[in-house]
Amino acid sequence: MNNANKWPLWPAVIHAKCPRCRRGKMFANAMYGFHGQQMLKQCDHCKLTYEIEPGYFYVAMFVSYGMNVAVLITLSVALSVLTGSTNPWLYVIVLLTASLILSPFNFRYSRVILLYWLTPGLSYQPEYSADKPESVLPASDPGDSIAPLNLN
Ligand SMILES: [Zn+2]
């Protein structure tokens, strides 16, 4: 394998690139905008279908929930230590505001975390990072690199 063709993990995660080729985008538009976020159906580089099965991104809600709880606990402790206040409205206002401001971030990165680390059988495959993956690889179904989930 040629190391020059390897695309690094963290820039791909931060820029929400495809988990298989780390080149194609996962989202069609910016994280913060007036039109919401639109996730692409498949990678524009390696043709990986992001929604592996119908409703797959419901799982991302649990990831998003975990991220939100982590932020809220951290903020609550920080508020308590920094202000020493016992006024519940301070906490309600600050935590709700933080939760609202961070919701587009949570939406995007819960899906990124789900596809990068919580999807069995889906991993980085450097051969898909080539400039023209379809010329290197035989024509195949999108998502064929993903092992079928055994739900029994
Ligand atoms: Zn891809």
- Mean pLDDT, range 89-106, rounded to an integer: 96
Q: What is the pLDDT of residue 147?
A: 54
Ligand 1 mean position to 48 CA, how many Å? 5
46 near 18, Cβ under 8 Å? yes
Residue whose structure tokens are 């609550």 = 76
- Mean pLDDT, range 79-105, rounded to an integer: 95
Ligand 1 mean position to 88 CA, how many Å? 46
> Above 70 in pLDDT, residue 76?
yes
> Above 70 in pLDDT, residue 136?
no
Ligand 1 mean position to 16 CA, how many Å? 11
Banded pLDDT at 144 (limits 50, 70, 90): low
Q: What is the pLDDT of residue 50?
A: 95
Residue 72 backbone phi and psi in degrees, to 5: -65, -40
> Above 60 in pLDDT, residue 123?
yes
Task: Tell me the domain boundaries of the chain.
Answer: 3-136
Ligand 1 mean position to 135 CA, how many Å? 14
- Which residues lie below 8 Å from residue 94, measured CB to CB, with a gap of 6+? 75, 79
- The dihedral formed by the CA atoms of 58, 63, 65 and 66, expressed in degrees to the nearest 10: 160
Ligand 1 mean position to 33 CA, how many Å? 24
Banded pLDDT at 141 (limits 50, 70, 90): low
Q: What is the pLDDT of residue 119?
A: 94
Ligand 1 mean position to 19 CA, how many Å? 7
Ligand 1 mean position to 46 CA, how many Å? 4
Cα radius of gyration rounded to whole Å, the chain: 19
For 121, the token pair is 């059988």
Q: What is the pLDDT of residue 33?
A: 86
30: closest CA among 9, 10, 16? Answer: 16
Q: What is the pLDDT of residue 4?
A: 56
Residue whose structure tokens are 């309600």 = 92
